[in-house]
Chain A
Amino acid sequence: MSVKTAGGRVIVRKRRTAAERAKSAVWHAAMLAVLAIVLYPLLWVITASLKGNTDIITDTSLWPKAITWEHFANAFDGLAGIPLWRFFWNSTLIAALSVVGVVVSCSMTAYALGRLRFPGRSAMLGVVIATLLLPGQVMLIPQYLIFSELEVTNTYVPLVIGKFLALESFFVFLYIQFLRGIPRELDQAAKIDGAGHFRIFFSILLPLLRPAVVTSSIFTFIWSWNDFLGPLIYLYDMEKFPLPRLLQSYSNTEGVTNWGGMMAMTLLSLVPVVLFFLVFQKFLIRGIATSGVKG
């Protein structure tokens, strides 16, 4: 250690990088441990859907002893003679309608609340924020009574109407947050040039709001895809069921004996969400980081 040559310095530097490398290895090991716990249930279900029905539940390993594709064949047969693609189509339709509704109505409401000045504006902003915290259960019963009075139960209207009326406060809030980042001078310049509200909104603000549009679309799609309570209350024809209702019905009938079919069906129902996430994860994570919207 008494050697103070250039070589000594090299040794010291090497030692530091070795320590850093060790630290980095420990860090990655910790992260991989968390990752293993997080991904285990999903990996398990993938292999479970390939295992024979007898050892699905009891087999903890992630490697099937013998691979079988019959569960997927079962899953594609759907339930009660209705093929699986039909339920996928229903889920997709509801989700697509929801996305259109949220993007159009929430962005416009946010424009009104965030940019215009009119009496009662701050009170309305307060209502939007209060409904963020309000338990939705309290509105469930009156809304059901309204929709059954209008004779639209067992249709998709109750599931998507709230999205078209900007009742999704999370997204109104998200758009307001994004609007705050866009300089007001832009709308003022447009106003001087004679643009009306619609012109300002569609030609200037909406293009700039694109990240918010993408984020809210993805979240709406995923939440709608996962929504169970709405379809549980409003839909009773199996032909109209989206996937979560199908899974629930299947688990109460076929799935009691056919775990493999159920796991295969479950896996298939999760695939679109996971794919969506993989494609759009940057937008999603930026979105929650700026607005606090929850998954």
Chain B
Amino acid sequence: MIPWIIGTAVLTVGPMAWSLYLSFTDYHLIRGGEWIGLQNYTAIFDDPMFYRTVRVTLLYVLIAVPVKLVASLLVAILLSQHRRGMGFYRAAFYMPSLIAMSVGVALIWKALFSNGGVQDGIMSSFGWEGGGFLGNPSVSILMLVLLAVWSFGAPMVIFLAGLMQVPQELYEAADVDGAGRWSKFVRITLPMLSPVIFFNVLMETVGAFQLFGPAYIIGGESGAPAWSTLFYTVRIYTLAFTDFRMGYASAYAWLLVLAVGLVTVIMFRAAKRLVFYAGEDR
């Protein structure tokens, strides 16, 4: 069984090291390449496309993750208050997260948000003149944000499992002390739930940085319209597999690894102060 692990380590660590090496070369799939030191990295920082992709990706992460998590926590709290029908609603709300990242749903989204489509029709009746989100660069990213929010069921189920584990005695004790709903939420629910919140924030953030499929289907390789959906991973894909500039693309990919790593470290640091582990858990 140990060979399996060696295989795992080699096939993960090997490509990573190779990718790091490639990022210091001007490797081209057809022409080959040689060592050019840090030139890829200096070139990236002069690349206007880099700043566009970073802007789009960060904007998405900063909007989609909080909105999705707040929505999922709210619905989870609502669901946890009532037993009857809970299983049904939980299943129904969870289902979209299984298909949200598929090509099919991205195509449905394109239909819903095109000019004259459902979103345009509904918003026009309230005086909106921006047309469908699909063709409007200032709001097109909202399509992807809404897609993320639509898949709130996955973190919701995890929140729900966490809420079920909060000991009821804590609430009863708080009732005896005359605590109100809000203070029970802030002083009992949130601290007891904080490990789960941390987990969800971490996983959703890391996942959001890596969004590819829906962005590629909705915006194509150029992130249409006007680069407004040009996600970082789409740029990596295009550089590597359309332009064949694999050295340069590897440098792009490594910057993503560094960014995600940095975010992860910061979150773990923050978690040390903010996350509360009850009793002997961990």
Contact = CB atoms under 8 A, between A and B. Distances in A.
Interface of A: 24, 27-28, 30-31, 34-35, 38-39, 41-42, 44-45, 48, 56-58, 60, 105, 108-109, 111-113, 116, 118, 124, 127-128, 131, 133-146, 162, 165-167, 197, 201, 222, 225-226, 228-229, 232-233, 243-245, 247-248, 251, 255, 259, 262-263, 266-267, 269-270, 273-274, 277, 281, 284-285, 288-290, 292, 294-295
Contact of A108 (B1, B13, B203, B210): B1
B85 A31 contact: yes
Nearest to A128: B8
B219 to A, nearest CB: 13
A244 B212 CA distance: 13
A27 B84 CA distance: 10
Candidate in A116, A225, A226, A255 with the most chain B CB atoms within 10 angstroms: A226
A278 B16 CA distance: 39
A57 B203 contact: no
Given A35-B93, A226-B99, A289 B161 contact: yes
The 7 closest A-B pairs by CB, nearest first: A289-B161, A142-B15, A295-B97, A244-B103, A142-B18, A266-B104, A226-B102
B217 interface: yes
Contacts of A128: 8
A133 B241 CA distance: 24
B4 A165 contact: yes
A270 B81 contact: no
Contacts of B257: 134-135, 138
A289 B158 contact: yes
B99 A273 contact: yes
B2 interface: yes
A229 B1 contact: no
A108 B6 CA distance: 13
B98 A142 contact: no
A135 B107 contact: no
A280 B192 CA distance: 30
Given A135-B260, A142-B14, 19 more contacts: A27-B82, A34-B93, A35-B89, A44-B118, A57-B117, A109-B4, A127-B9, A127-B13, A128-B8, A133-B202, A134-B16, A135-B233, A139-B16, A140-B253, A141-B240, A263-B111, A288-B157, A289-B157, A289-B160
B114 interface: yes
Given A140-B240, A228-B103, A247-B104, A41 B150 contact: yes
Interface residues of B, number: 85
A135 B249 CA distance: 14
B206 interface: yes
Given A289-B161, A292-B158, A270 B97 contact: no
Interface string B82-110: 10110001111111111111111101111
Contact of A30 (B9, B78, B92): B78
B253 A137 contact: yes
Contact of A105 (B4, B16, B202, B250): B4
A60 B118 contact: yes
B264 interface: yes
